[in-house]
Amino acid sequence: MYFALVHLPNIDTTRIELLRNKYDPTAHLIQAHISILFPVPEEIGVNALINHIESVLKHWKPFSIRINGLHKSWDNWLFLTLKDGNAEVIRLHNQIYTGMLQPYQRKDIDFVPHIGLGLFVKEGVKYDYKNPKELEFDERKYELAVHDASQLNLDYKCVFDKLYLVSLTNDFSKIEVSKKFLFGGGSPELG
């Protein structure tokens, strides 16, 4: 099992989910989200992880974000990115990856706060969520997705005020929300 930490934006995700259902192989597993902590193995200990997250978040206050912009990632994902609040989310991500989580931070990959809209690799190519690598790019499908996304006017404002701990099966075939964390030291709550 693995654990990850995500923000579930309090927005109408209907248009985002239309794209994700068409292009994102994880759309059926979890709703549109912004990852803060990428999957880490359960061996780190869920109680220690919860304590670490609480200790970081007690110093945070809610802040506004604006989700509006498209970006192609190095590993061929189409991202819906942040126009406002980007620096704050990066700072939070970096603070989460301190202490016990520091060894798990991928320093070789720039963190881009985003909602994943789709993965664009050639048919039959296997993407490894635990160890992403650049794979053969499906440019035609990507261009279709960019066109579709541009037509949907994806522009959202919301408050970044809570995070959710999610558990993932070893093969990433099932994801469940297990805890909710509020900014400013609120106690975790069941999903």
Q: Over range 91-95, report the average pLDDT.
A: 98
- Model pLDDT for residues 60-83, shown as the tens digit of each residue: 999 999 999 999 999 999 999 999
Q: According to the model, what pLDDT value does residue 157 have?
A: 97
CA atoms within 13 A on the CB side of 188: 22
pLDDT at residue 125, rounded to an integer:
83
Is residue 186 pLDDT above 50, yes or no?
Answer: yes
Asked if residue 189 is part of any domain, the answer here is no
Q: 106-137, pLDDT tens digit by residue?
A: 998 899 999 999 999 988 888 777 777 778 89
Q: What is the pTM of this model?
A: 0.92
User: What is the number of structural domains in the chain?
Assistant: 1
163-173 confidence digits (pLDDT tens):
999 999 999 89
At residue 134, the pLDDT reads 75
> pLDDT tens digit string along 137-172?
999 999 999 999 999 999 999 999 999 999 999 998
Full residue range of the structural domain in which residue 172 is found: 2-184
- To the nearest 5 percent, what fractions of the chain are helix, strand and coil? 30, 30, 40
What average pLDDT does this structure show over 8-35? 97
CATH number of the domain enclosing 77? 3.90.1140.10
Q: Which of 10, 14, 52 is nearest to 34 (CA)?
A: 10
Q: Does any domain span residue 55?
A: yes
- What is the average pLDDT score of the chain? 93
pLDDT of residue 124: 83
Whole-angstrom distance, CA of residue 115 vs CA of residue 70: 10
Q: What pLDDT score was predicted for residue 187?
A: 47
Q: Is the residue at 190 inside a domain? A: no
**Measured in whole angstroms, how far is the alpha carbon of residue 157 from the centre of its chain?**
17
User: Residue 185: what pLDDT?
Assistant: 61
151 contacts 77 by C-beta, under 8 angstroms: no
Contacts of residue 68, defined as CB under 8 A and 6 or more positions apart, other chains included, come to 80, 81, 82, 83, 154, 155, 156
What is the DSSP track for 51-92?
HHHHHHHTT---EEEEEEEEEE-TTSEEEEEEEESHHHHHHH
pLDDT reported for residue 136:
85
In this structure, is residue 126 part of a structural domain? yes
Read off the pLDDT band of 188 (50, 70, 90).
very low
111 lies in some domain: yes
